[in-house]
Amino acid sequence: MVIRNKQFPHDLKRVLVREIPNPECDKCGEPYRFERKELGYNTCLSCGELLAQEVKFCIAPVHKSNYIVVSRKRDLIGINNKTSN
């Protein structure tokens, strides 16, 4: 799209970003960068780091198949049908 109006500002992104307030973190309420919100994050970097440390997962090989990522222990139980319970 070509804008032919000579009065239109050249640096549109800078003008629009200044008008949009920074979003607030869902956990602590502190403002964080708008670009982070555009990427889909709802937390600041500090709270996001704490949330990322809470997530535990492992990679399990499945007999004659691919590797799978398991994040819940109950999913891991019963994956290998070659062992007895």
* Per-residue confidence (pLDDT) for residue 31, from 0 to 100: 93
* Per-residue confidence (pLDDT) for residue 13, from 0 to 100: 52
Q: Do 39 and 17 belong together in one domain?
A: yes
Q: Do 47 and 26 belong together in one domain?
A: yes
Q: Do 19 and 42 belong together in one domain?
A: yes
Q: Do 67 and 79 belong together in one domain?
A: yes
Q: Do 49 and 59 belong together in one domain?
A: no
Which of 84, 83, 44 is CA-nearest to residue 62? Answer: 83
- Domain holding 16, by residue range, is 12-54
pTM: 0.47
- The Cα 37–Cα 25 span in angstroms is 10
Kind and range of the H or E run holding 17: helix 12-19
Q: Do 21 and 35 belong together in one domain?
A: yes
Q: Do 18 and 46 belong together in one domain?
A: yes
- The Cα 68–Cα 59 span in angstroms is 6
| pLDDT exceeds cutoff 80 at 47 | yes
Own/partner pairs for 31-35, CB < 8 Å, 24+ apart?
A: none
Give how many domains the chain has, as a whole number. Answer: 2
SS3 of 27, please? coil
Using one digit for the tens of pLDDT, what is the confidence trace for 21-37? 789 999 999 999 989 99
What are the φ and ψ backbone dihedral angles of 68, each rounded to 5 degrees?
Answer: -130, 150
Where does the pLDDT of residue 19 fall: very low under 50, low under 70, confident under 90, or very high at 90 and above?
A: low
- The Cα 75–Cα 72 span in angstroms is 5
- Residue at 36 is within a domain: yes
Residue scoring higher pLDDT (6 or 56)? 56
- Residue at 79 is within a domain: yes
Q: Do 60 and 29 belong together in one domain?
A: no
